[in-house]
Amino acid sequence: MPGREHVDYPFGEYLISTNPDLLDIEVIHRFLSTESYWAPGIPFETVLKSAQNALNFGLYCESRQIGYARVITDKATFAYLCDVFVLQEYRGKGLAHHLMRSVLQHPELQGLRRWMLLTSSSPGLYKKYGFEHPPKPELYMEKSVPNIYLNNQ
């Protein structure tokens, strides 16, 4: 995934970077397919393709990927934040907050009209960064295929 400019957010022994060359797709795939509630069984090729077509934020400790966030965006009006995680052994250190700040401070994500995310875990984290339930949920629609990856195995 070369050719894109990237931004680094160093802090102490940790680094958050949008450099796609640093991504460990195997770590991301392993977490999403076996530990996430939203993408169990997701194929490796799907994770790779999703990363290739998004703005990725890798969280690293001594060059080891320990977290991730992905933003799907037009970089002008809208962004969808998804696949946010910090590996279990690194939780409780405030790293999710660093990850969220880095995502929201990214220069190409400023001035957007709308951000969106779907979550059933850590809503308090996202509320601290301005995310709220939609004021008119009746306007929200979706086409969803639950457990699509598990059903196609």
Distance CA 43, CA 33 (A): 7
CATH topology of domain 8-151: Aminopeptidase (3.40.630)
Task: Tell me how many degrees the CA angle 34-130-13 measures, rounded to the nearest 5.
Answer: 55
Residue 122: per-residue pLDDT: 83
Tens of each residue's pLDDT in the chain, 153 residues: 444 579 999 989 999 999 999 999 999 999 999 999 999 999 999 999 999 999 999 999 999 999 999 999 999 999 999 999 999 999 999 999 999 999 999 999 999 999 999 998 888 899 999 999 999 999 999 998 888 888 766
Asked whether 52 and 26 are in contact (CB, 8 A), the reply is no
Closest CA to 78 of 36, 123, 43, 108: 108
Distance CA 102, CA 75 (A): 15
Q: Looking at this protein, which amino acid is placed at residue 119?
A: T
Asked whether 33 and 149 are in contact (CB, 8 A), the reply is yes
Closest CA to 58 of 1, 115, 113, 3: 1
Residues in the chain: 153
Residue 78: per-residue pLDDT: 98
The dihedral sign for the CA sequence 109, 75, 100, 140:
positive
Q: Looking at this protein, which amino acid is placed at residue 50?
A: S
Task: Map residue 61 onto helix, strand or coil.
Answer: strand
Residue 3: per-residue pLDDT: 42
Backbone angles phi, psi at 102, to 5 degrees: -65, -45
